[in-house]
């Protein structure tokens, strides 16, 4: 046992060796500030500014929808299950480093064949010696000894039907001499952390999509209200034109033109109703609800949320620590680096304690086990029935036609791919922030211009409508101004929705909830 102790001790000392490259976090060179960062329009966000950013819109119904999305969205649920899967995979890989102890028990009854020579019953041999004394012939001894041999066969004492019982404990342990198992476990741990970051990124994406789709629903309701207002104006113009026609102040062509404009605007109204339902159905899917059961939630018109004021920007260096997709890519790079070490460790020998007490009799040099074995169950736990053994298995690669070296090349390439993917995600994240800030600031200016234009066109239409009622202008003039006013109102609504979407994109690009 002393020899076993020293052998295991040497193996444990050797387990401190790890072959392959050690992981070093990547260092990305980024600018000190965003080019679209306008000091009078932005502020440096703190963590609390990005947590639950949607509350800035001050819409309780939107808040409830986002809470429901976290609980019911299928993409987020799948991401959470992938986290559980990655955690379980890590547990499996970590357990492979430790010894495995199993319990086994077996019992059997069997009959041996009598058709083999070795199975013939034993024989008993009897030898009898007799001595006679008499005269001897010339050149002979005066006495003669006679030996008689007789052979008898007795029945076999062992029955061909036998019983076998065995119970014991087995120890299976692969000694991690060159870090293969530890690197595999570390790679699984990095993958688990990457899955966690990915799930958080999915959550941010889901929240952004829900908020954006909600803004589309509100915008569609607003556009539907505008289209309804225009249809009402068309009905008024048609009524005025008909009165003018019956009074002889105009011809029938004006009446038909007014009726045609009414039908066109009714068709436009139907298209906005379809757009509203489509947005509601999309929102229901994001919440994990059946679409047809969600329409009643929007029977009442809801105002389009707005959030004016400064927007967060910060510095690019903080983005690398905050964005979950960047953090997930960094963890994937770490896992790929560990896998290179696993591939390198395949070039080195491996020592393991394997086997079981049931196979110990056939191979006593393989395994570490202890137990009891007997052909009688009542004798199974007696001291004389005890069995034990220990052994080790050494496996050393010699020639594999370059398979292991090719495996190293494959893992190195995978590491390079992960590194390039990380750099790509960093650059894409910076571009996303710059684009979202620029788009938001530009849309903010456009929204102001559209609001001013819509107010002016509404006043111009009302003045022209008064002239039309007085008979001072014809129908084409007032109808043209009505169409301009309608276009401005719809454009203004679209701009308000785009402004909300752009602000959502800013928060999403900065990492959103962290």
What percent of the chain lies above the pLDDT cut of 90? 34
Is the pLDDT confidence value at 282 over 70?
yes
Is the pLDDT confidence value at 156 over 70?
no
Are the C-beta atoms of residues 371 and 168 closer than 8 Å to each other?
yes
pTM of the model: 0.79
- In the chain the first and final C-alpha atoms are separated, in Å, by 56
Q: Report the pLDDT value the prediction gives residue 321, as an integer from 0 to 100.
A: 81
**Which contacts (CB < 8 Å, 24+ apart) does range 285-290 have?**
286/69, 286/73, 286/206, 286/209, 286/210, 286/213, 287/65, 287/68, 287/69, 287/72, 287/73, 287/210, 288/68, 288/69, 288/71, 288/72, 288/73, 288/74, 288/77, 289/68, 289/72
Extended strands (E) in 45-122: 100-111
The stretch 322-344 carries a mean pLDDT of 94
Which pLDDT band holds residue 380 (cuts at 50, 70, 90)?
confident
pLDDT tens, residue by residue, 67-78: 999 999 999 999
Which pLDDT band holds residue 135 (cuts at 50, 70, 90)?
very low
Is the pLDDT confidence value at 155 over 60?
no
Q: Report the pLDDT value the prediction gives residue 41, as an integer from 0 to 100.
A: 66
Are the C-beta atoms of residues 315 and 35 closer than 8 Å to each other?
no
The stretch 493-509 carries a mean pLDDT of 90
Is the pLDDT confidence value at 88 over 90?
yes
Annotation: CATH topology of 2-104+173-509: Outer membrane efflux proteins (OEP) (1.20.1600)
The stretch 120-144 carries a mean pLDDT of 47
Q: What's the mean per-residue pLDDT of the chain?
A: 81
Which pLDDT band holds residue 81 (cuts at 50, 70, 90)?
very high
Q: Report the pLDDT value the prediction gives residue 446, as an integer from 0 to 100.
A: 92
The stretch 484-500 carries a mean pLDDT of 90
pLDDT tens, residue by residue, 410-438: 999 999 999 999 999 999 998 998 888 88
Q: Report the pLDDT value the prediction gives residue 186, as an integer from 0 to 100.
A: 94
Are the C-beta atoms of residues 469 and 438 closer than 8 Å to each other?
no
Pick 42 or 381 by higher pLDDT: 381
The stretch 486-509 carries a mean pLDDT of 90
Are the C-beta atoms of residues 461 and 488 closer than 8 Å to each other?
no
Listed residue (365, 363, 361) closest to 373, CA to CA? 361
Q: Where are the domains of the chain?
A: 2-104+173-509
Q: Out of 219-223, 331-335, 347-351, 381-385, which region has the weakest mean confidence (pLDDT)?
A: 381-385
Which pLDDT band holds residue 354 (cuts at 50, 70, 90)?
low
Is the pLDDT confidence value at 306 over 50?
yes
Q: Report the pLDDT value the prediction gives residue 6, as an integer from 0 to 100.
A: 44
Are the C-beta atoms of residues 337 and 413 closer than 8 Å to each other?
no
């Amino acid at each position: 046992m002393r020899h076993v102790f020293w052998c295991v001790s040497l193996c444990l000392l050797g387990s401190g060796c790890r072959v392959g490259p050690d992981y070093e976090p990547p260092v990305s060179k980024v600018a000190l500030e965003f080019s679209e960062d306008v000091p009078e329009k932005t502020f440096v966000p703190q963590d609390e500014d990005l947590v639950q950013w949607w509350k800035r819109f001050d819409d309780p119904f939107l808040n409830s929808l986002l809470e429901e999305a976290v609980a019911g969205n299928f993409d987020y649920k799948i991401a959470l299950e992938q986290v559980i899967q990655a955690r379980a995979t890590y547990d499996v890989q970590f357990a492979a480093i430790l010894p495995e102890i199993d319990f086994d028990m077996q019992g059997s009854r069997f009959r041996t064949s009598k058709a083999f020579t070795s199975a013939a019953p034993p024989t008993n041999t009897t030898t009898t010696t007799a001595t006679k004394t008499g005269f001897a012939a010339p050149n002979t001894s005066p006495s003669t000894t006679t030996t008689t041999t007789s052979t008898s066969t007795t029945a076999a004492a062992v029955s061909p039907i036998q019983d076998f019982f065995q119970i014991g404990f087995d120890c299976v342990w692969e000694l991690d001499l060159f870090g293969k198992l530890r690197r595999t476990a570390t790679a699984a741990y990095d993958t688990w952390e990457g899955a966690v970051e990915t799930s958080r990124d999915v959550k941010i994406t889901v929240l952004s999509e829900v908020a954006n789709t909600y803004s589309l629903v509100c915008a569609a309701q607003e556009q539907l209200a505008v289209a309804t207002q225009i249809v009402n104006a068309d009905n008024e113009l048609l009524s005025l034109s008909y009165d003018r026609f019956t009074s002889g102040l105009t011809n029938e062509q004006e009446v038909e033109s007014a009726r045609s404009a009414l039908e066109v605007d009714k068709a436009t109204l139907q298209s906005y109703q379809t757009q509203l339902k489509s947005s509601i159905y999309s929102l229901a899917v994001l919440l994990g609800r059946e679409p047809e059961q969600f329409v009643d939630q929007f029977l009442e018109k809801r105002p389009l949320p707005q959030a004016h004021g400064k927007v967060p920007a910060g510095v690019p260096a903080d983005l690398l620590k905050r964005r979950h997709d960047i953090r997930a890519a960094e963890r994937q790079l770490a896992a790929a680096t560990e896998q290179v070490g696993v591939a390198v460790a395949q070039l080195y020998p491996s020592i393991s304690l394997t086997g079981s007490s049931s196979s110990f009799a056939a191979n006593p040099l393989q395994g570490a086990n202890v137990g009891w074995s007997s052909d009688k169950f009542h004798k199974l736990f007696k001291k004389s029935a005890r069995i034990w053994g220990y052994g080790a298995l050494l496996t050393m690669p010699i020639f594999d036609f370059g398979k292991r070296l090719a495996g190293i090349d494959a893992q190195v390439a995978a590491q390079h791919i992960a590194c390039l993917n990380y750099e790509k995600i960093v650059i894409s994240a910076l571009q996303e922030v710059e684009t979202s800030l620029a788009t938001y600031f530009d849309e903010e200016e456009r929204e102001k211009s559209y609001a001013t234009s819509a107010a002016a066109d509404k006043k111009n239409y009302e003045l022209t409508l008064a002239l039309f009622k007085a008979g001072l202008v014809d129908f084409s003039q007032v109808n043209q101004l009505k169409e301009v006013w309608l276009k401005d109102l719809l454009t203004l609504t679209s701009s308000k929705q785009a402004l909300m979407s752009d602000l959502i994109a800013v928060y999403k690009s900065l990492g959103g909830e962290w």
